[in-house]
Chains A and B, each alone.
Chain A
Amino acid sequence: MLATLQDVIAYLGQTVGLVGDAFGKFSSPTVLAYVFGGTLLGITIGVMPGLTATMGVALLTTLTYRLEAEAALLVLVCLYVGAIYGGSRTAILLNIPGTPANAATTLDGYPLARMGRAGPAMGTATTGSFLGTLIGMVFLATIAPKLADYALEFQTHEFLWLAIFGVLISGQLTAMDDPLKGWIAGFLGLAIAMIGQEGLYMTDRFTFGFTEMQGGIGLIPAMVGAFGFSEVIAVMYNRRAEIVRASVRLLDVVPDPREVLRYWRTIGRSGVIGTLIGVIPGVGEDIGAWVSYAAARRASREKEKFGKGSVEGLMAAETGNSAAAPGALIPVITLGIPGSAPAAVLLAAMVLHGVRPGPMIMIEFPSFVYEVVVMMLLAAFAILVLGIALTPLLLKVLAIPRERLMPIVFVLCVIGSYAIQQRMFDVWVMVVFGIVGFVLREMKYPMAPLVLGIVLGDIFDKSFRRSWVIHDGDFTFYLNRPISLVLMLLCAATLIMSIGPCRRYLGPKVEGAVQGTIGVVTGLVRAHLVLVALLFAALAALVGLPVRGLEAGGAGFARGVRLAASAYAGILRDAATAFGRGLAGLVIAPLADLARFARRPGPPSADRGEQA
């Protein structure tokens, strides 16, 4: 165990060293200008309802393609983090989420503003976003390199099931009320990716004789259309002419450090949840915020305040969505699969700048993960500084009429789509995706699975056919590969849980099992911490032997052992009970229900009725 602990400490030390090395690349004044410029632009985009982080990243990708790779990606990452944070201002002041990621922020942010506490609410949002980004960043720095090593084990079978699972889970989670529409969007995305020359035998598919279509549908023009042009149409469709008047003093917005101490559990929990949700393919920041908010509400001692102006709720939502941003970059860098829609554009931007994200990242670009970590860190500090210092200016941005802004956005959509390859075909793609994207969104089809489908299409196509060739269509082979099997089971579980009666019956039981598993993990972690404490106590007692005498040292050691053993046994007992309850809830209870259902008496027969 000590060896494991030593390994962990050595790994963390090595990570810190590599991050420090990466810092060296970002220490010039020009870099600071990029950081503050990108973050300010991101916050401004986030503040304006109708302009989203995805749209901002997509448009700026086309504007920065002439910059060097590090500079361009730095600006894009800062814009991404800034936009997710900036949306909280609009959510607090107008009750309209500036970006979809800030929808959960409206629940408590707006009531706080109505109570006259708009300034402190913005301070809380700043604290949450800053700490959320930092937590996600720590996970990015520590998990991504290990995941990339692990991903080297992935073969065609794993990638096939990962693609199917990504589309299913993204469709399920981004269209909670109607997973059917999420799945349709995902499979349509996969179908769109079939356009162009396929990658194995270079056969044209769905090109209809147009040479421009042989290269397939470009991700950036498609994203600019689906998230840029469709927003222009949507803003004009739901036109609102209100001018916001809000006055907030600068001092009110300064975050209160006491909040961090008071809500450290909520911040930690929301940061971890947000990051994990970010890692799930194609799900993104908005779901990260909702799940963090729900978890905070469940665990809070002030549940009744949630939805009526709870600082804890606001903190959870903002920490969750900001942590999801670095989380969404983990699968981008290690697997080449985006965790969210803005991350999909970042993936395209990385490819545009010569970086090849995927399992080979730690071999081909070993310092890249740490450079992205530094970019995240710089962006986090930039939102802290700009979020406080530019509050009055950012409030004025809200007053810009949409009718003045939208033609500029569209002009940038057109020139941005055109500029990369300098061909009008990409402009047509942008226009088609804009109109189709608007229609689909109005009919409640989520865009994230569609984008994920387009990204995963190539991987899915090649993996599907390769695995068919390798095993002559014998799909039982997937059952022999553990990762494939797990992914297949997850796909099956996603499908089963989307069926109404199954969800209603199994939902509470799965929740119980998850709670039980969390109990087991928490118990084991605590138990091992006690063991470590015990070892240190033993060491201290032994070291103390020559000074305090054999008797005193021996007695202290024995007492320490007794205490630690008793605590360890108690914790293990708790963990076992929690695990047992979870297992009983998930497996035994449904079986018992089934047996009861089979044994239930039928309707009284005519004979029995006569006897009665």
Chain B
Amino acid sequence: MPRADFLTALVLLLVALGLVAEGWRLPGAGGLIEEGGEPGRVPIFLGLVIAALALVLLVRAVGQGGHRLFAGEPLAPERRRMLVRAVATAAGCAFYAVGLLGRSIFGISLGYGWLTFGFILVFIVIAEWDLAPEISARRRRAIESRAPAAAARIAPRLAFVPAAWGPYAWLALTATLQAAAVAAVVTYVFEQQFYVTLP
């Protein structure tokens, strides 16, 4: 945390500097504004307060060794995986919202419904990919314990799917159904009921 605090304090100092600089630059409306009512006065005040708070954070972080940015142990593998998941989620979601919606790619403009269908499908498949075998085994055990006769009848009919592919095929099928249902319902509600011109 001290390292993060150190970096945050530096970013906050930059923000404060920006507030003061922009506040200073703002016009006084050609002398029409009375002294004290200038639009830049409050940004300058806030910039100074944020700078003071950032300095306290900086001093505290330095006191805790936060300025030694490359010292200390490397990230644990599990923590690294968590970070990768967070960054991938943020990047993927941002790409769908800002990079795809309302834009044409290579001259092709997909509608809101298709893009939303694709987004949900890809999200679920990527997020559940490593869990698919475990979820499948749990589901099989549940069916076998609750309805053994039905399980015995279904198993031979699914024999054409290789055992290793089974969990992933199920994942793809259910994700497709869910994505189609959600995309259709959201599109219908907002376009037909709320009269929103979808992006």
* Residues in chain A within 8 A of chain B (CB atoms): 65-66, 180-181, 183-184, 187-188, 190-191, 194, 198, 200-201, 203, 205-206, 229, 232-234, 236-239, 241, 243, 401, 403-404, 406-408, 410-412, 414-415, 418-419, 422, 424, 427-428, 430-431, 434-435, 438, 443-444, 460-461, 464-466, 468-469, 472-473
Partner of A241, one of B27, B43, B89, B134: B134
Beta-carbon nearest neighbor of A191 in chain B: B46
A444 to B1, CA, bound (A): 9
Chain A contacts for B10, CB-based, 8 A? none
B97 CB within 8 Å of chain A: yes
Interface string of B146-184 (1 = CB under 8 A from A): 000000000000000000000000000000001100110
Please determine whether B82 and A468 come into contact, CB atoms closer than 8 angstroms.
no
Given A184-B12, A201-B29, residue A468 in contact with residue B57 (CB < 8 A): no
Please determine whether A198 and B39 come into contact, CB atoms closer than 8 angstroms.
yes
B144 CB within 8 Å of chain A: no
Extra contacts, 17 of them, besides A411-B186, A443-B8 (Cβ < 8 A), are: A66-B194, A183-B53, A194-B42, A198-B39, A201-B37, A206-B22, A232-B93, A401-B128, A410-B119, A411-B116, A411-B120, A422-B196, A424-B101, A435-B90, A443-B1, A464-B42, A472-B36
Chain B: number of interface residues, binned into ranges: 35 or more
Beta-carbon nearest neighbor of A444 in chain B: B1
Chain B contacts for A465, CB-based, 8 A? 36-38, 41-42
B114 CB within 8 Å of chain A: no
Partner of A414, one of B97, B124, B138: B97
B69 CB within 8 Å of chain A: no
Given A418-B199, A419-B190, A469-B34, residue A233 in contact with residue B39 (CB < 8 A): no
**How many inter-chain residue pairs (CB < 8 Å) link A and B?**
171
Please determine whether A187 and B37 come into contact, CB atoms closer than 8 angstroms.
no
B24 CB within 8 Å of chain A: no
Chain A contacts for B194, CB-based, 8 A? 65-66, 419
Please determine whether B90 and A233 come into contact, CB atoms closer than 8 angstroms.
yes
Chain B contacts for A418, CB-based, 8 A? 196, 199
A184 to B98, CA, bound (A): 29
Chain B contacts for A243, CB-based, 8 A? 138
Chain A proximity of B138: nearest CB distance (Å): 7
B4 CB within 8 Å of chain A: yes
Chain B proximity of A236: nearest CB distance (Å): 4
Please determine whether A473 and B196 come into contact, CB atoms closer than 8 angstroms.
no
Given A418-B199, A435-B94, residue A406 in contact with residue B101 (CB < 8 A): no
Please name 14 pairs of A and B residues whose Cβ atoms are closer than 8 Å in the assembled complex, sorted by A: A187-B50, A187-B53, A191-B15, A201-B39, A205-B26, A206-B43, A233-B93, A238-B82, A401-B135, A407-B120, A428-B97, A431-B93, A443-B1, A444-B1
Partner of A427, one of B15, B47, B98: B98
A184 to B50, CA, bound (A): 7
A65 to B189, CA, bound (A): 13
Please determine whether B128 and A403 come into contact, CB atoms closer than 8 angstroms.
yes
Chain A contacts for B39, CB-based, 8 A? 198, 200-201, 203, 205
SS class of chain B's interface: helix, strand, loop or mixed? helix
Chain B contacts for A181, CB-based, 8 A? 57
Please determine whether A241 and B131 come into contact, CB atoms closer than 8 angstroms.
yes
A465 to B28, CA, bound (A): 13
Please determine whether A414 and B41 come into contact, CB atoms closer than 8 angstroms.
no
A415 to B116, CA, bound (A): 10
Residues of B2-53 contacting chain A, CB below 8 A: 4-5, 8, 12, 15, 19, 22, 26-27, 29, 32-43, 45-47, 49-50, 53
Partner of B89, one of A184, A236, A427: A236
Please determine whether B196 and A187 come into contact, CB atoms closer than 8 angstroms.
no
Chain A contacts for B128, CB-based, 8 A? 401, 403-404
Please determine whether B120 and A180 come into contact, CB atoms closer than 8 angstroms.
no
Chain A proximity of B31: nearest CB distance (Å): 12
A503 to B27, CA, bound (A): 44
Chain A contacts for B43, CB-based, 8 A? 191, 194, 205-206
Please determine whether A406 and B123 come into contact, CB atoms closer than 8 angstroms.
yes
Please determine whether A237 and B116 come into contact, CB atoms closer than 8 angstroms.
no
Partner of B93, one of A66, A184, A401, A410: A410
Chain A proximity of B187: nearest CB distance (Å): 9
Chain B contacts for A401, CB-based, 8 A? 128, 135
Please determine whether B196 and A438 come into contact, CB atoms closer than 8 angstroms.
no
Chain A contacts for B138, CB-based, 8 A? 243
Chain B contacts for A203, CB-based, 8 A? 26-27, 29, 39
Chain B proximity of A246: nearest CB distance (Å): 16
Please determine whether A464 and B41 come into contact, CB atoms closer than 8 angstroms.
yes
Chain B proximity of A558: nearest CB distance (Å): 66
Please determine whether B182 and A411 come into contact, CB atoms closer than 8 angstroms.
yes
A305 to B79, CA, bound (A): 37
Please determine whether B33 and A201 come into contact, CB atoms closer than 8 angstroms.
yes
A410 to B123, CA, bound (A): 10
Chain A contacts for B110, CB-based, 8 A? none
Please determine whether A180 and B53 come into contact, CB atoms closer than 8 angstroms.
yes
Chain B contacts for A408, CB-based, 8 A? 120, 182
Please determine whether A424 and B186 come into contact, CB atoms closer than 8 angstroms.
no
B127 CB within 8 Å of chain A: yes
B197 CB within 8 Å of chain A: yes
Beta-carbon nearest neighbor of A463 in chain B: B42
Chain B proximity of A390: nearest CB distance (Å): 23
Chain A proximity of B51: nearest CB distance (Å): 10
Please determine whether A443 and B94 come into contact, CB atoms closer than 8 angstroms.
no
A443 to B61, CA, bound (A): 13
A431 to B49, CA, bound (A): 27
